[in-house]
A and B are shown apart, each in its own frame.
Chain A
Amino acid sequence: MIEVKQVVKTFDRFRALDELNMTVEDGAIYGLVGPNGAGKSTIIRHLIGVYRPDSGEILVDGAPVYENPEKKGLVAVIPDDWYYFPSASLRDMMRFYRGFYPQFDTDRYEKLKEVFQLSERMPLRRMSKGMQKQAAFWLTLCCRPKYLILDEPVDGLDPVMRRQVWSLLMADVAEYGTTVLVSSHNLRELEDVCDHVGIMNKGKLLLERSLSDLQENIAKLQVVWSTEETPALPGGLEVLHTSHVGRVYTYIVRGAARALQQRIAAMEPLMVEALPLSLEEIFIYELGGEHYAVKEIVL
């Protein structure tokens, strides 16, 4: 399990992480989402032992990860800007990783040649961004990490390779119980693979739930009222967003869809319907409450 407790990190008076709490259960695929500058990459650098928090605790497998080689050996990362030595080839980097990760699986490396059809001899700097990403996946998967941390992992990969990579990850999760924490802006993709989601903003975690809980706890209601005037909604409803087209009103409301639908139905509208929200919609509406909404600006 990865536990982040009350972590604060400040860069030149800018509070990048603000008493952040986060928990990633073993075996979970945890999607970490948030707007640009929310602190996702910062917390990831803490999780892999690169940054030391100003205060708070970061535990991996029950122990602090910073300056803890034993726990860092359980973690592998594919950062957004993966570093390779300027003149190194894939095989050079393989030897480098093999020298640090005792559980590095050379057999797996050989097998993955079929998946990632990259030249082992070509300098990595000559490869395209997508090919470099594939190389990063190839090596990282061979490290057999217990915790795999990915920052924008499929950025630059073609659709086929994206599916291929996700398939490999899911297989590891299923077979070895690998815990995956993935930060991405591609919420549609995350929705397909994640079982837990955390939404970050301004260095804090706004919410952290399983995806199913999240989707069950927020609903999109489409209502057609019978009167010209819009009636007031029942008290106690936490409405995140309201819009309408003609007499068709759309409400984004926090709560269980079925219960909400029943409460609105009691007001006898012409029609009420509860629709499921995508992760992207949840992200947008949750952050809308944090003053991070799409602004309608006419230029």
Chain B
Amino acid sequence: MNWEVSTMPSKRSFFNGTLFRKNLTRFWPLWGGVSLMGAVFPLYVLLSILGREYVSYTARDMGRALYGVVTELVPGFLLVYAALCGVLVWGYLNNSRSVGLYHSLPVDRTCLYLTTLASGFAMVLIPFVVVGALLCLVCLVTGTLPLLAVAETALAVVLMAVFYFSTATLAAMVTGNGFAMLAFYAIGHFLAVLLESLVTAFASGFLFGLTSLSAGVLNFLSPTIYIYEHFKAYYSIWDASGPDSLQGMWVIAVYALAGLVLLALSWLLYRRRKSESAGDVVAQWWLKPIFRYGVALCSALTLGQVLYELVYGFPFQEGVYYHLIPMAICLIITGILGYYVASMLLKKSLRVFKGDWQGPVTTAAIVVILCGCVSLDIFGTASYVPETEEIDTISVTCSAGYAVTEIAPDSPLAQSALALHRAILADEDYIRDMTAQWNDGGQWEEGSTGLTDRAASADMDFECVHFQYVLKNGDTVYRSYPVVLVKDRWYNQPDTFDCQLRETLCGPEAAIASVSPGYGGTVESVYGYIWIEEGTDISLAGDEARAVYSAVLEDAAAGRLYHWDPFADDEEYELIGSLEFAFQPGNAPNDGNSYSIGTEYKTVDLYTAMTSTLQTLRTLGWNGGGLVDTEMQG
């Protein structure tokens, strides 16, 4: 036999049809089963259309159904399904026997990679193609085919499929174990938010005012969350002829591009991957230390805090903030534990303790440095107050439920809120001391009366003041301060945070803000109805309603609206009714959420102290129940 003929060098191949077909035929139960389940959707549509006496479908309805499915179901479905496809088609990398077969075949790794990738991608898309084709057929037959929506939906599905399958592929490239692949995939998709939450929760235990609420700045690294936040269907509710659309396509387009980059990275990893890594939890040598120390750090941050609470926090801790040394010890213990667990996974053996002292020492050093950096607040997080020009809106809330929300930064109220925040920071030591004593039921240091006694005599009140800054760059800054309010400071010491809190939450500006429509600007028209206890429902519109609203604003400016005051006697406020004002949409932003566009309502409780409002109502001829007359006369 002439070898030179039968094995003549051929052009480099990037695709092998046999392998492609083999992958599809091997794993048909998965994509076939999913296609079958998906086919229920067009069947349901068909049956619904056949029963027209109850349901009437139009092309627009179909389009909306597609938009709803692609924005609400597809991301979550692909998150799971792409992982299953990935673990199947790349499964040969997890077994030394199958690696031996595949890598001894007369094709290079690029060909194997591209062919496996294509077959996996086909497996991801087949159910969508089947369901889409059936749905189009149903729509064609019934004359309800929304062409644009179908095209947009198909594009969105392909883009998301590229992204999700690329991440599954990357996960398969970094491990040689199917279970680890699924774990890495799941962790990878949510690692950023998990880590941000962990670090924020940890830091909030040390830093004054920091909350365990994460700002979500890393949400974009957790794509499913980010897609659900930004990729939405927009239905034109107010304009029946207006177009519906998918908003945030750019988000999935960017993720798809990122997916292509990940595929290129995966290809490089596959080319350098060692066949002998089959079965290993981590298949790339350079990832092993990252895995070890990553597991150690996560273990320290999670288990460390649990251990601290169990052995020190609950029985011994004073105040609401962590103590440095006990926490550092807990972090070291749990960090080293995590390090050894990671080593066991990597070595597939329980014998990891002998000889490896550098790793635990390094882990201990890392967590001690972390603990020190956080407790010393080296980035100045605790003392950070956003500048006016950085801020989009500010909200201040106290635990009593009173709040001013989404105020513009250039308003006097916003400046008052910023001043309040700075005053709280300036009084940090005092506040820490007071809250620690309050929590522990300790004694009031300065005065003669015990803290608990003073609280009992209504001279003191415990509250939590929350700040939320939405910044112009899209970030959100949360701060939360547990404080003990003192009556004397609240009323008589203007420089204290207590008094500034009163001015911010209980002043005229806050009262006006509480009855103003959220989107600001000029109120084009006000519709309203008035309902007062003992009276009948009354509705006012146009100029009459606007006159009542003006009177309410007048009462607010004069401080006659009910406002929260922990030390005030509320007897002067008697609830006599409720007003609900409806504001026509003014300059409400089109944020893609159909439910936020429309009439905005503001409810104002009506109290006897609101003389201007009551006077206006009387002038307009409303005299229900005699109560108004009585008050007016009074």
Chain A interfacial positions (CB closer than 8 Å to B): 11, 45, 48-52, 67-70, 72-75, 77, 79, 81-83, 85, 87, 95-96, 98-103, 144, 146, 175-176
Q: Which secondary structure characterizes the binding site on chain B?
A: helix
Q: Measured between alpha carbons, how far is A77 from B22 in the docked complex, in Å?
A: 21
Q: Which secondary structure characterizes the binding site on chain A?
A: loop
The 27 listed contacts between A and B (C-beta, < 8 Å) are A50-B100, A52-B275, A67-B108, A69-B12, A69-B13, A69-B106, A69-B107, A69-B108, A69-B111, A70-B10, A73-B7, A74-B3, A81-B97, A81-B100, A82-B97, A82-B101, A83-B97, A83-B101, A95-B18, A99-B16, A99-B17, A100-B106, A100-B107, A101-B106, A102-B6, A102-B7, A144-B1
Residues B108 and A100 in contact, CB atoms below 8 Å apart? no
9 A-B pairs with least C-beta separation: A99-B18, A73-B106, A103-B6, A83-B97, A48-B104, A83-B101, A72-B106, A50-B103, A69-B106
Q: Measured between alpha carbons, how far is A52 from B108 in the docked complex, in Å?
A: 13
Residues B97 and A100 in contact, CB atoms below 8 Å apart? no
Task: Contacts A69-B108, A176-B1 given; indicate if A74 touches B103 (C-beta within 8 A).
Answer: no
Q: Measured between alpha carbons, how far is A99 from B15 in the docked complex, in Å?
A: 11
Write the nearest CB–CB distance from B538 to chain A, whole angstroms.
Answer: 77
Q: Beyond the given A70-B7, A99-B18, could you list 9 further A-B residue pairs with CB under 8 A, ordered by the A residue number?
A: A72-B104, A74-B3, A77-B104, A79-B100, A81-B100, A83-B97, A99-B22, A100-B16, A175-B1
Contact with A along B93-117 (1 / 0, CB 8 A): 0011111110111111101000000
Neighbouring B residues of A144 by C-beta, 8 Å: 1, 6
CB-CB nearest in chain A for B98: A83
Does B9 belong to the interface (CB within 8 Å)? yes
Residues A100 and B105 in contact, CB atoms below 8 Å apart? yes
Does B26 belong to the interface (CB within 8 Å)? yes
Number of interface residues of B (CB under 8 A): 33
Contact partner, B275, options A50, A87, A99, A175, Cβ 8 Å: A50
Residues A72 and B100 in contact, CB atoms below 8 Å apart? no
Residues A100 and B18 in contact, CB atoms below 8 Å apart? yes
Q: Measured between alpha carbons, how far is A194 from B242 in the docked complex, in Å?
A: 84
Neighbouring A residues of B18 by C-beta, 8 Å: 95-96, 98-100
Residues A146 and B7 in contact, CB atoms below 8 Å apart? yes
Q: Measured between alpha carbons, how far is A85 from B111 in the docked complex, in Å?
A: 20
Write the nearest CB–CB distance from A264 to chain B, whole angstroms.
Answer: 50
CB-CB nearest in chain A for B96: A81
Q: Measured between alpha carbons, how far is A51 from B275 in the docked complex, in Å?
A: 6
Neighbouring B residues of A67 by C-beta, 8 Å: 108-109, 271
CB-CB nearest in chain B for A73: B106
Task: Contacts A83-B98, A99-B16 given; indicate if A49 touches B7 (C-beta within 8 A).
Answer: no
Neighbouring A residues of B10 by C-beta, 8 Å: 70, 102
Does B274 belong to the interface (CB within 8 Å)? yes
CB-CB nearest in chain A for B99: A50
Q: Measured between alpha carbons, how far is A45 from B12 in the docked complex, in Å?
A: 23
Residues B275 and A45 in contact, CB atoms below 8 Å apart? yes
